[in-house]
C-alpha cells in the first residue's frame, strides 16, 4: 500500500476519533482528562517546535503559558466580558501577547548556548513567577484573578474547552509540520546539528532561532489562555508552574524529539497516565514515585523516543523482508 495514503488515513482517523471522543465518553471526569491531554498535545508540540528542532533545551515555556493565562484574565476583567464562547476569540490575542513577551526573553536567553541556555530559561521562569506575585496591579498577587463563569451545564461543560484545546493543538501540529517541511525548518535543524557551520553556510542563526522561539511562545500562550479560562481563576503557582516546563519536555522526548507526531503521542500517553496515577493513588508520595520510575524506564529503554524507534524498527523489518 502507498505509505503516503496510509499516513493520510491515519491522520484523518485520529482526527475523527478526537472529534468524536466527547460524544462517546460523556463522563465529565473522562472529558476533563481528555481536555488536559489535548491541551498538552498543543503545548508539547509548541515546545518541540523550538527546542526539538533547534536542540536548545528551553525549560521556561511556562513563562508564555502563564503570560497567556494572565492576559486573558486581564482582558475579561477590564472589558467586563461575560462567560461564553466569545471569550475563546481572545485566545489567539493572548497567544500574540505571549509572542511579544517571548521577543525580549528569547533575545536575552539566546545569547547563550547549551547548559547556560537551560539555566537562564529556568532563571527567567522564576523571575516571571515572582513578578506574578509582586506586580499586584496587573496580577492581583497571590490572591489571584477570577475569570467569568461560562453559562454551560455540567454535563457538556468540558466539551467547549475540549474543542478549543483541540483547535489549538491542531494549529500547533499544523504549524510544526509546515515549519518542518519549510526552508525555515531546515535552517533550524542545521542549527541543531552544528550551529557554527550553519552560520558559516549563511544561516542567520540569531534571527532564525528567535523566530522559532517566538512562534513557540505564541502557541504556548494560546494553550495557557484556554487553561486559565477552564480553571476559572489564575494564581501565580498554577500559571507559572515549574512542572509544566519539564512535562512538555518529557512528552516531546517520549514521543521523539524533533518529530511532528512525537509530542502528540507523548502527550497522549503521559497526560492520561499522570492524571490516572494522581486519581488512583491518593497517597501523593506513591504517585510521584511511580511517575518518576516510569520516567526513568522511558529514558532507559527509549532514549530516542517512540517515533524514531518505531521508524528504525520498520526500516529493519523492511530490510529483512527485501532480503
Partner 1 sequence: MGTELAKAVVDGVLTGGVYALMAAGLTLIFGVMEIINIAQGVLVVLGAYLSYTLQVHAGIDPFVGLLITIPVMFVLGMVIEWGFIRRLAPRDRTALSILATFAVAVIVEGVLTQAYSADLRTLSAWYVDRSIHVFGFYLPYIYLFGFALAVVLLAALYLFVYRTRTGYSIRASMQNRAGAQLIGIDIDRVSAITFGIGAAATAAGGTVYGATNTFNPDSGYDLISRLLVIVVLGGLGSIGGALVAAILALVIEDVTAVLWSPVWSSTMFFAVLVVVLLVRPTGLFGQQAVRAQ
Binding residues (CB under 8 A) for partner 1: these are 57, 59, 108, 111-116, 118-120, 122-124, 126-127, 130-131, 133-134, 194-196, 242, 246, 249-250, 253, 257, 283-293, 295-296, 299-300, 303-304
Measured from the CB atom, the residue of 25 and 126 that comes closer to partner 1 is 126
Is there a contact between 305 and 253 (Cβ–Cβ < 8 Å)?
A: yes
Measured from the CB atom, the residue of 160 and 238 that comes closer to partner 1 is 238
Min dist. Cβ of residue 193 to partner 1 (A): 10
Min dist. Cβ of residue 143 to partner 1 (A): 14
Min dist. Cβ of residue 19 to partner 1 (A): 33
Min dist. Cβ of residue 323 to partner 1 (A): 28
Residue 76 and residue 90: Cα distance in Å, rounded? 9
Min dist. Cβ of residue 245 to partner 1 (A): 10
Measured from the CB atom, the residue of 154 and 283 that comes closer to partner 1 is 283
Residue 279 and residue 289: Cα distance in Å, rounded? 14
Measured from the CB atom, the residue of 57 and 96 that comes closer to partner 1 is 57
Measured from the CB atom, the residue of 15 and 293 that comes closer to partner 1 is 293
Measured from the CB atom, the residue of 93 and 302 that comes closer to partner 1 is 302
Residue found under cell 513577551: 101
3-state SS of the chain is CCHHHHHHHHHHHHHHHHHHHHHHCCCHHHHHHHHHHHHHHHHHHHHHHHHHHHCCCCCCCHHHHHHHHHHHHHHHHHCCCCCCHHHHHHHHHHHHHHHHHHHHHHHHHCCCCHHHHHHHHHHHHHHHHHHHHHCHHHHCHHHCEECCCCCCCHHHHHHHHHHHHHHHHHHHHHHHHHHHHCHHHHHHHHHHHCHHHHHHCCCCHHHHHHHHHHHHHHHHHHHHHHHHHHHCEECHHHHCCHHHHHHHHHHHHHHCCCCCCHHHHHHHHHHHHHHHHHHHCCCHHHHHHHHHHHHHHHHHHCCCCHHHHHHHHHHHHHHHHHC
Min dist. Cβ of residue 263 to partner 1 (A): 14
Question: What phi, psi does 312 have (nearest 5°)?
Answer: -60, -40
Min dist. Cβ of residue 46 to partner 1 (A): 17
Measured from the CB atom, the residue of 150 and 305 that comes closer to partner 1 is 305
- Biggest alpha carbon–alpha carbon distance for the chain: 70
Measured from the CB atom, the residue of 80 and 196 that comes closer to partner 1 is 196
Min dist. Cβ of residue 157 to partner 1 (A): 31
Amino acid at each position: 500500500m502507498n505509505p503516503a495514503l496510509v499516513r493520510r488515513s491515519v491522520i484523518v482517523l485520529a482526527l475523527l476519533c478526537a472529534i468524536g471522543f466527547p460524544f462517546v465518553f460523556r463522563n465529565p471526569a473522562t472529558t476533563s482528562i481528555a481536555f488536559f491531554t489535548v491541551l498538552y498535545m498543543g503545548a508539547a508540540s509548541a515546545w518541540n517546535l523550538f527546542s526539538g528542532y533547534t536542540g536548545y533545551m528551553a525549560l521556561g515555556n511556562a513563562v508564555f503559558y502563564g503570560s497567556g493565562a494572565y492576559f486573558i484574565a486581564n482582558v475579561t476583567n477590564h472589558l467586563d466580558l461575560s462567560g461564553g464562547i466569545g471569550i475563546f476569540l481572545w485566545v489567539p490575542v493572548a497567544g500574540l501577547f505571549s509572542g511579544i513577551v517571548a521577543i525580549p526573553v528569547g533575545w536575552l536567553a539566546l545569547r547563550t548556548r547549551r547548559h547556560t541556555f537551560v539555566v537562564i530559561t529556568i532563571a527567567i521562569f522564576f523571575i516571571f513567577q515572582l513578578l506574578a506575585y509582586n506586580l499586584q496591579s496587573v496580577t492581583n498577587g497571590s490572591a489571584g484573578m477570577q475569570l467569568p463563569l461560562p453559562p454551560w451545564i455540567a454535563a457538556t461543560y468540558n466539551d467547549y474547552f475540549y474543542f478549543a484545546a483541540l483547535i489549538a493543538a491542531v494549529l500547533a501540529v499544523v504549524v510544526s509540520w509546515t515549519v518542518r517541511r519549510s526552508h525555515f525548518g531546515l535552517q533550524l535543524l542545521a542549527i541543531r546539528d552544528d550551529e557554527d557551520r550553519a552560520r558559516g553556510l549563511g544561516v542567520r542563526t540569531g534571527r532564525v532561532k528567535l523566530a522559532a522561539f517566538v512562534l513557540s511562545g505564541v502557541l504556548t500562550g494560546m494553550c495557557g489562555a484556554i487553561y486559565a479560562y477552564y480553571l476559572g481563576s489564575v494564581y501565580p503557582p498554577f500559571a507559572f508552574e515549574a512542572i509544566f516546563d519539564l512535562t512538555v519536555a518529557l512528552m516531546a522526548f517520549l514521543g521523539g524529539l524533533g518529530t511532528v507526531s512525537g509530542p502528540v503521542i507523548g502527550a497522549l500517553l503521559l497526560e492520561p497516565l499522570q492524571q490516572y496515577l494522581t486519581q488512583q493513588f491518593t497517597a501523593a508520595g506513591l504517585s510521584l514515585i511511580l511517575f518518576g520510575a516510569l520516567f526513568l524506564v522511558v529514558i532507559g529503554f527509549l532514549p530516542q523516543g517512540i517515533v524514531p524507534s518505531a521508524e528504525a524498527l520498520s526500516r529493519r523489518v523492511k530490510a529483512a523482508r527485501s532480503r
